[in-house]
Amino acid sequence: MANKLISEIGLPKSIANIFAARNIVTAKDALSLTEFQLMELLDVGWAEVTSAVAHISAIVCPPYQSALSLMEQRVKNEHLAGHLPTGLKGLDEALCGGIPFGVLTELVGPAGIGKTQFCLKLSLLASLPSSYGGLDGHVIYIDVESKFSSRRLIEIGAKSFPEIFLMKGMAKKMSGRILVWRPASLSEFTERLQQIKVSLHQNEVKLLVIDSMAALVSGFSRFGSIFKEIKSTISLALPIVFPKSLPLPSIANFTDWAHSRECEQGIPRQHPLGWHVSFIKSLAEFSRIPIVVTNQVRSQSSDEACQFSFQVQRWKETKEDHARYGSHLVAALGVHWAHAVTIRLVLEAKSGQRFLKVSKSPISAPLAFPFDITASGMSLLSDDGIELTGPDINAIHSQGHSDIINFTGESLQ
């Protein structure tokens, strides 16, 4: 709520314009200053300032409510608390209906495990007519890694919904509702995010997919143009020194290298995608649509002992757990990103069998579902989830999945 825009809070237009003119854009910007500082900066009287601050505080810090009143409010406004059914019965039951509106849902897993396949199926479901259980809307699909396949999309649709896709012109109509965009750089992605906020309303968008967030930092390295951009962005926020004698890290490993430098210097962690994370999260909250993002995995290193204990405990203990559970992978993008997502679904492989895990959710216990990828997309082998405990909740396994690659480009067997 701190990132709620001043222009959307409902202040009188005269005072809202003054805030905008002084570059006070969010509620956090306004509430971070005292009344006297605001008087001086805005050049208005005490009464106007205190009234504006009280109004902003009331919006972003609403009074407490009882559990009963929250439940009654949810029933009354069920259309605002909806879900996008995934078509996977066990997962939909665990999530009380599917992918929830208004929050970030993350799919994390190694390469080739099925994240993009899942996103393609969700895109189809969002574009389907409501009479067939869809959201009857458009989809914005941000294809960072150029993995989107129109051919595969049509195949999944024809196999999953033959009664729709075999009708004349319906395949073209459904696929025409999915708007694919491939950003060429991080700066282009940043600019287009602002435009997407307007497009969500103008085009009746019912789902936003970003595949993948980690590639915004690491993926562009394959084109050799992103390192300078990220280096200059990070250097503005972090006092990291790039000595001439120090060989520059590979782009794919840049985030980990920067994090290790922070740990050495005792610098508070600041994420290279910090602004983007906050903006996308606020986009989900205010647009009330499901936003699904994919994330990559990476090898865990010993200097991650400086992270929060809920995700990674002391390296010695974690190393023992890895030996016991056969896992040495963690989600990319770190703790800052992990806090931003509301639902984390982990796709992994153990002894050659793929599993979909509900690793983080405020409405479900940690569960694992075995699955396969078929012509119709992802298919659960059992709708009865296996309850998870201990380190296995956050662990990401790769046993028997040869397509997994670490950030140095070597296969993980």
Indicate whether 181 pLDDT > 80. yes
Is 103 contained in some domain? Answer: no
> 260 and 206 share a domain?
yes
Q: Could you say which of 243, 259, 291 is where a domain stops? A: 291
> 274 and 125 share a domain?
yes
> 175 and 238 share a domain?
yes
End-to-end CA distance of the chain: give it in Å, rounded. Answer: 44
Q: pLDDT tens, 69-106?
A: 877 776 666 555 689 999 999 999 999 999 999 999 99
Provide the token pair at 173. 């109509």
Please give the single-letter amino acid code of residue 185.
S
> 147 and 273 share a domain?
yes
Which is more confident, 369 or 194? 369
* Gap between the Cα atoms of 394 and 384, Å rounded: 20
Tally the C-alpha atoms within 13 A of residue 198's C-alpha that lie toward its C-beta: 4
Q: What is the mean pLDDT of residues 212-238?
A: 54
Q: Could you say which of 60, 80, 96 is where a domain stops? A: 60
- Which 3-state string (H, E, C) describes 141-208? EEECCCCCCHHHHHHHHHHHCHHHHCCCCHHHHHHHCEEEECCCCHHHHHHHHHHHHHHHHHCCEEEE
Position 337 confidence tier, pLDDT thresholds 50, 70, 90: confident
Q: What is the CATH number of the domain that holds 265?
A: 3.40.50
| Percent of the chain scoring above 70 in pLDDT | 74
> 138 and 258 share a domain?
yes
Q: pLDDT tens, 271-299?
A: 567 888 888 988 888 888 999 999 999 88
> 223 and 178 share a domain?
yes
Q: Could you say which of 233, 266, 291 is where a domain stops? A: 291
Our count of domains for the chain comes to 3
349 — phi, psi (to 5°)?
A: -135, 130
pLDDT at 406: 38
Which helix (H) or strand (E) segment holds residue 75: the answer is helix 67-76
> 284 and 376 share a domain?
no
> 276 and 317 share a domain?
no
Which helix (H) or strand (E) segment holds residue 344: the answer is strand 343-350
The range of the structural domain enclosing residue 26 comes to 6-60
- Report the mean per-residue pLDDT for the chain: 78
pLDDT at 78: 52
